[in-house]
């Protein structure tokens, strides 16, 4: 929305202070990298492959030398500039920048490229009250300040997971580093232990050998003296091994993993979370205090501060932000543009003396044109409009609200194309009585600026304006005699009214007419064809209810009463009789019928109708503009009658699609397929098409598909050479001799190769065949349907109804009516003698189970009511327990039925 630069102050200070430091001054989170300190939202950065590098040639005799990388020396860091030192101190010490440093930054952003002359959006600045005071002292006044409010709990929920994740990652890195240190010490300890153990074993072996040598010498001396020899002392190997291990542990202690852990590294997850919460709460308290001080500083200077809550969804916050920012941007766009309102009389005098000229919109309202309004204002007179002077032109607004909008953004409304050609709108409204036709027509006439007329208005116009005409004389004879005016006379009166200037220039809407198919045909013959016919669909109940409400709320009593139930019922019956023929004609011939639900809200009805009228008007404007340019024009939605179509069809293709015939080599009959909506006109001829795609192809280049074209175009053969369907009545006596292809189907032969018997001679007959009717029923066409049903089905239904009346089943969880219907259905299935035995037995079991469950339900109802000594329904005789009795009843019923129906 803002074409400019977004500057994040904290990221910018990081970039300024980081290059000369070993570590960044602010703790960075790899999971949430800050955005660059400035960026152009609407201009993407170029890709690496799109950048062009220019290599400079070295002078002769010089060889390029690759310099080694010199790491930074932590003991002797590079010297920092005052700005870098101030940024580092501000980030680490959480303090505001000095006024000199901010002056340096703002001089760069306001006086150097690419920032000069562009919009600037500061993200997170001012951060401290000193920053706000610096802006006010230097005269850097922001147009708007947006303050994002966030609940502390929501802030903790959003910030704590990132901090915890960062702590977990850092802890994992430290644990990994500690484990690597421990592993290195462990390996060194193992090496030292192994070497020391080998040395101790060697010393132990030498000591043992020396001891054995001394013992052997003593034993030899004792043997020489004749004394007894000394026995060698036995050493315990386990004790020696334990002594060796203890000596190694004392000399070289084994390293432990716990020794590598410091005090900070011993922090667990719970304590870390508590510490992070305390840090975030302290930061929130400081930021809240700073924001309150900043807001007070701006409010003292009358600078608007907009507060936006971001605790809820991000989408709502963005909508509110755009709603606040859009008026500010509009005002800044036209801050140096001035427009002046004048009165209607002043504007007329300016035009009369040629002091000002009418703008390119004429009498059209530029505000409504910008909003997509397609119709001229209701009044074309300058004093009735709301003029505005802008530069050397005079612009006419239709309403006071439109003039206020134009004064706020004049250049926005002037920078648009002039209105398209004004097309007169011709509408008609039909519907049942009390469906709201007159209200609907008045609203449309007011919105579009056309005249609402009825057949009564036409008759009154002839009597008042055409008193001396022959039409008025004939009309007076019928009116004075009290007889109905003929349909032809009504259409002539209507035609006289439609010839007036306002109807011809702007259009009209016909209220409640035509009411019969005869009147509609007469209108078509007189070329009175509405572009759109709206039918207000309403039920009889809604119409009667509205008539009752109107009769109750009307203060004046009309005599005779036109809203009583008898009159409304008669008019409804007349409408229901005539409307099917009218709808069928409109849908098949003119195809301009639009149905609107009259029971919906009136605003929905008006919006739907205005949208339909606007779309149809655009189609008509496109047609007229393309015809003026001598291009192919679509006739979609222009009420082309069958007579007009047949009289102006092209001789080359007639009812066939030219593109389908030339591309797919198919004769596509559009009349037979009923694809009337894809019609185009080119050079006063009509062409029909199979689909929207084919129509678009023709509109792009019509000369390509018509002879003589750039390609080889085929035209439809003569009518005698075209294939046609021949009916049986049209065949002659020797039609068999005229059969082509031997009386066989050429399509089947071409597609399926039916004349190759070797493909079908090896087929095996299937084991399972589809079921065949065993006893096909022969219906006697001489017996009417009702007597046939009474004679065949009537006795069986009477038996079922008697059984229901005797048993009175009540199935659980359903009513008596549904239970009775289910019982009758199962009874009819069982009594059908043409059904298989298995099906009848299954129906018999269902009927038994149904009766038992119904008896159980009745018994439970009785027990629930507490009625004692109830006779169970099972004591009644069912159908299956008295077969002989039912047979007798069936016979008696059949006799009685035949007496009533002797046919």
Comparison of pLDDT for 760 and 505, the residue scoring more: 505
Q: Would you say residue 148 has pLDDT above 50?
A: yes
Instruction: For residues 6 and 40, give the distance between their C-alpha atoms in angstroms, rounded to a whole number.
Output: 7
CB crowding 84-106: b at 16 or more within 10 Å, else e: bebbbebbeeeebbbeebbeebb
Specify the pairing of strand 386-390 against strand 451-453: unpaired
Q: Would you say residue 685 has pLDDT above 80?
A: yes
User: pLDDT by residue (tens digit) across 157-185?
Assistant: 888 888 888 888 888 888 888 888 888 88
Whole-number pLDDT of residue 826: 80
The owner of tokens 């719970």 is 270
Phi, then psi, of 871 in degrees rounded to 5: -80, 120
Q: Which residues contact 378 (CB under 8 A, 6 or more apart)?
A: 398, 446, 449
Which residues lie across from 389 on neighbouring strands?
A: 340, 394
Nearest to 614 by CA among 362, 361, 369: 369
Instruction: For residues 698 and 632, give the distance between their C-alpha atoms in angstroms, rounded to a whole number.
Output: 8
Whole-number pLDDT of residue 739: 66
User: pLDDT by residue (tens digit) across 382-416?
Assistant: 777 889 999 889 999 888 899 988 988 888 888 88
- Lowest pLDDT segment from 430-444, 490-504, 759-773: 759-773
Measured CA angle at 214 (ends 208, 216), to 5 deg: 100
Whole-number pLDDT of residue 27: 46
For residue 670, count other CB atoms closer than 10 A to its CB: 22
Helices (H), 61-98: 82-93
538 burial (CB, 10 Å; 0-12 / 13-18 / 19+) is buried
Comparison of pLDDT for 727 and 450, the residue scoring more: 450
Instruction: For residues 105 and 538, give the distance between their C-alpha atoms in angstroms, rounded to a whole number.
Output: 71
Q: Would you say residue 488 has pLDDT above 80?
A: yes
Whole-number pLDDT of residue 892: 54
For residue 572, count other CB atoms closer than 10 A to its CB: 19
Residue 746, classed as helix, strand or coil, is helix
Measured CA angle at 273 (ends 270, 274), to 5 deg: 90
When pLDDT is averaged across residues 21-33 and rounded to a whole number, the result is 47
User: pLDDT by residue (tens digit) across 613-646?
Assistant: 988 988 888 898 898 888 999 988 788 877 788 8
Whole-number pLDDT of residue 869: 41
User: pLDDT by residue (tens digit) across 570-580?
Assistant: 888 889 999 99
Whole-number pLDDT of residue 161: 87
pTM over 0.95: no
User: pLDDT by residue (tens digit) across 840-868?
Assistant: 888 888 777 777 766 655 555 544 444 34
Confidence tier at 511 by pLDDT (50, 70, 90): very high
Q: Would you say residue 524 has pLDDT above 80?
A: yes
Confidence tier at 33 by pLDDT (50, 70, 90): very low
Whole-number pLDDT of residue 517: 92
Whole-number pLDDT of residue 881: 47
Residue 773 token pair: 């009717």
Instruction: For residues 32 and 15, give the distance between their C-alpha atoms in angstroms, rounded to a whole number.
Output: 16
Measured CA angle at 14 (ends 8, 15), to 5 deg: 90
Residue 373 token pair: 């309004």
Whole-number pLDDT of residue 874: 46
Residue 831 token pair: 């009594």
For residue 688, count other CB atoms closer than 10 A to its CB: 27
When pLDDT is averaged across residues 672-679 and rounded to a whole number, the result is 74
The owner of tokens 């449309």 is 444
Give the CA dihedral 610, 616, 617, 618, nearest 10 degrees: 110
Whole-number pLDDT of residue 490: 92
Q: Residues for the chain: how many in total?
A: 903
- % pLDDT > 90, the chain: 11
For residue 304, count other CB atoms closer than 10 A to its CB: 13
Give the CA dihedral 209, 210, 214, 215, nearest 10 degrees: -30
Identity of the highest mean pLDDT range in 267-276, 510-519, 792-801: 510-519
Specify the pairing of strand 593-597 against strand 633-634: unpaired
User: pLDDT by residue (tens digit) across 551-566?
Assistant: 777 665 554 556 667 7
Q: Which CATH class is domain 425-551+563-623?
A: alpha beta
Confidence tier at 47 by pLDDT (50, 70, 90): very low
Confidence tier at 897 by pLDDT (50, 70, 90): very low
Comparison of pLDDT for 860 and 730, the residue scoring more: 730
Comparison of pLDDT for 264 and 440, the residue scoring more: 440
Q: Would you say residue 534 has pLDDT above 80?
A: yes
69 burial (CB, 10 Å; 0-12 / 13-18 / 19+) is exposed
Identity of the highest mean pLDDT range in 43-57, 363-377, 516-530, 795-809: 516-530
- % pLDDT > 70, the chain: 75
Instruction: For residues 601 and 436, give the distance between their C-alpha atoms in angstroms, rounded to a whole number.
Output: 11
Return mean pLDDT, the chain.
77
Phi, then psi, of 151 in degrees rounded to 5: -65, 145
User: pLDDT by residue (tens digit) across 470-484?
Assistant: 999 999 998 888 888
Whole-number pLDDT of residue 39: 42
Whole-number pLDDT of residue 777: 47
Instruction: For residues 79 and 736, give the distance between their C-alpha atoms in angstroms, rounded to a whole number.
Output: 113
Q: Would you say residue 460 has pLDDT above 80?
A: yes
Whole-number pLDDT of residue 832: 79
Comparison of pLDDT for 260 and 660, the residue scoring more: 660
Q: Would you say residue 230 has pLDDT above 90?
A: no
For residue 182, count other CB atoms closer than 10 A to its CB: 17
Q: Are 642 and 648 in contact (CB under 8 A)?
A: no
Q: Are 669 and 654 in contact (CB under 8 A)?
A: no
Contacts 24+ apart (CB under 8 A), 489-495: 490/455, 490/458, 490/459, 490/519, 491/519, 491/522, 491/523, 491/526, 491/528, 492/526, 493/455, 493/458, 493/459, 493/461, 493/462, 494/453, 494/455, 494/458, 494/523, 494/528, 495/526, 495/528
Q: Are 427 and 531 in contact (CB under 8 A)?
A: yes
- Lowest pLDDT segment from 34-38, 429-433, 599-603: 34-38
Q: Would you say residue 30 has pLDDT above 50?
A: no
Which residues lie across from 687 on neighbouring strands?
A: 680
Whole-number pLDDT of residue 218: 81
Q: Would you say residue 234 has pLDDT above 70?
A: no
235 burial (CB, 10 Å; 0-12 / 13-18 / 19+) is exposed
Residue 699, classed as helix, strand or coil, is helix
Rg (Cα) of the chain, in Å, rounded? 51
Nearest to 687 by CA among 633, 650, 662, 659: 650
Q: Would you say residue 190 has pLDDT above 70?
A: yes
Residue 302, classed as helix, strand or coil, is coil
Residue 543 token pair: 């119409």
Q: Would you say residue 56 has pLDDT above 50?
A: no
42 burial (CB, 10 Å; 0-12 / 13-18 / 19+) is exposed
Whole-number pLDDT of residue 715: 76
Q: Would you say residue 45 has pLDDT above 60?
A: no
DSSP annotation string for 180-231: HHHHHHHHHHHHHHHHHHHHHHHHHHHHHHHHHHHHHHHHHHHHHHTPPPPP
In the chain, what are the domain boundaries? 339-415, 425-551+563-623, 630-718, 794-866
Indicate the helix (H) or strand (E) that contains 841: helix 837-865
Whole-number pLDDT of residue 742: 61
Whole-number pLDDT of residue 729: 64
Instruction: For residues 601 and 578, give the distance between their C-alpha atoms in angstroms, rounded to a whole number.
Output: 27
Whole-number pLDDT of residue 463: 92
Instruction: For residues 666 and 690, give the distance between their C-alpha atoms in angstroms, rounded to a whole number.
Output: 11
């Amino acid at each position: 929305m803002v074409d400019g630069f977004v500057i994040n102050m904290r990221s910018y200070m990081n970039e300024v202070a980081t290059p000369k430091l070993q570590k960044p001054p602010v703790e960075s989170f790899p999971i949430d990298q800050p955005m660059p300190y400035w960026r152009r939202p609407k201009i993407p950065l170029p890709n690496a492959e799109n950048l062009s590098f220019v290599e400079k040639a070295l002078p002769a005799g010089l060889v390029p030398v690759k310099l080694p990388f010199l790491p930074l020396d932590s003991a002797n860091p590079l010297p920092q500039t005052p700005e870098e030192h101030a940024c580092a101190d501000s980030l680490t010490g959480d303090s505001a920048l000095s006024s000199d440093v901010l002056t340096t930054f703002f001089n760069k952003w306001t006086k150097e490229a690419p920032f000069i002359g562009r919009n600037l959006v500061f993200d997170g600045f001012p951060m401290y009250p000193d920053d706000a005071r610096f802006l006010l002292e230097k005269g850097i006044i922001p147009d708007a300040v947006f303050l994002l409010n966030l609940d502390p709990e929501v802030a903790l929920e959003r910030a704590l997971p990132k901090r915890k994740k960062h702590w977990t990652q850092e802890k994992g890195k430290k644990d990994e580093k500690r484990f690597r240190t421990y592993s290195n010490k462990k390996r060194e300890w193992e090496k030292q232990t192994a070497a020391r153990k080998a040395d101790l074993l060697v010393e132990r072996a030498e000591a043992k050998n020396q001891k054995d040598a001394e013992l052997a010498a003593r034993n030899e001396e004792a043997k020489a003296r004749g004394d007894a020899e000394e026995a060698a002392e036995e050493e315990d190997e386990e004790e020696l091994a334990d002594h060796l291990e203890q000596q190694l542990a004392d000399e070289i202690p084994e390293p432990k993993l716990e020794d590598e852990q410091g005090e900070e590294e011993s922090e667990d997850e719970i304590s870390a979370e508590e510490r992070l919460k305390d840090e975030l709460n302290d930061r929130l308290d400081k930021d809240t205090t700073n924001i309150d001080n900043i807001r007070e500083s701006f409010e003292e200077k009358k600078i608007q501060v907009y507060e936006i809550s971001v605790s809820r969804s991000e989408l709502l916050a963005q909508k509110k932000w755009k709603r606040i920012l859009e008026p500010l941007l509009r005002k800044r766009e036209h801050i140096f543009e001035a427009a002046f309102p004048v009165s209607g009389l002043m504007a007329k005098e300016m035009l009369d003396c040629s002091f000002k000229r009418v703008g390119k919109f004429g009498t059209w309202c530029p505000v409504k044109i910008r909003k997509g309004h397609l119709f001229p204002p209701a009044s074309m007179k300058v004093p009735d409009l709301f003029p505005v002077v802008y530069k050397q032109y005079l612009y006419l607004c239709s309403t006071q609200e439109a003039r206020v909008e134009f004064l706020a953004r004049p250049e926005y409304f002037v920078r648009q194309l002039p209105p398209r050609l004004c097309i007169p709108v011709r509408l008609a409204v039909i519907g049942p009585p009390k469906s709201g036709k007159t209200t609907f027509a008045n609203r449309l006439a007011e919105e579009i600026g056309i005249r609402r007329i009825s057949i009564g208005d036409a008759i009154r116009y002839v009597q008042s304006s055409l008193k001396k005409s022959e039409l008025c004389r004939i009309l007076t004879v019928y009116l004075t005699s009290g007889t109905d005016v003929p349909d032809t006379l009504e259409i002539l009166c209507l035609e006289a009214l439609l010839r007036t200037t306002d109807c011809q220039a702007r259009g009209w809407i016909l209220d409640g007419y035509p009411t019969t198919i005869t009147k509609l045909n007469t209108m078509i013959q007189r070329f009175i064809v509405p572009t759109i016919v709206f039918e207000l669909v309403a039920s009889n109940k809604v119409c009667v209810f509205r008539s009752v409400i109107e009769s109750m709320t009307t203060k004046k009593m009309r005599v005779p009463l036109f809203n009583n139930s008898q009159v409304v019922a008669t008019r409804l019956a007349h409408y229901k009789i005539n409307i099917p023929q009218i709808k069928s004609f409109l849908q098949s011939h003119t195809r301009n019928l639009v149905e609107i639900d009259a029971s919906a809200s009136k605003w929905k009805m008006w919006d739907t109708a205005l949208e339909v009228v606007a779309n149809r008007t655009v189609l008509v404007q496109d047609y007229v503009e393309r015809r003026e340019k001598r291009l192919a024009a679509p006739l979609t939605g222009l009420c082309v009658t069958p007579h007009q179509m047949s009289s102006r069809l092209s001789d080359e293709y007639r009812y066939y699609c030219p593109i389908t015939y030339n591309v797919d080599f198919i004769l596509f009959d559009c009349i037979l397929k009923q694809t009337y909506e894809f019609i185009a006109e080119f050079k006063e001829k009509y062409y029909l098409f199979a689909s929207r795609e084919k129509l678009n192809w023709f509109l792009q280049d019509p000369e390509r598909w018509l002879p003589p074209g750039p390609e080889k175009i085929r035209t439809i053969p003569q009518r005698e050479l075209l294939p046609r369907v021949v009916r049986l009545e049209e065949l002659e006596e020797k039609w068999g001799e005229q059969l082509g292809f031997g009386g066989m189907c050429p399509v089947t032969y071409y597609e399926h190769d039916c004349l190759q018997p070797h493909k079908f001679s090896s087929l095996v007959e299937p084991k399972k065949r589809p079921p065949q009717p065993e006893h096909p029923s022969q219906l006697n066409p001489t017996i009417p349907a009702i007597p046939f049903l009474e004679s065949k089905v009537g006795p069986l239904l009477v038996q079922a109804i008697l059984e229901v009346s005797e048993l009175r089943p009540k199935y659980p969880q359903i009513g008596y009516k549904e239970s009775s219907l289910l019982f009758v259905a199962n009874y009819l299935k069982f009594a059908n003698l043409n059904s298989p035995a298995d099906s009848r037995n299954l129906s018999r079991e269902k009927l038994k189970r149904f009766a038992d469950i119904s008896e159980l339900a009745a018994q439970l109802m009785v027990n629930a009511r507490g009625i004692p000594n109830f006779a169970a329904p099972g004591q009644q005789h069912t159908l299956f327990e008295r077969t002989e009795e039912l047979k007798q009843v069936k016979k008696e019923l059949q006799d009685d039925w035949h007496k009533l129906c002797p046919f």
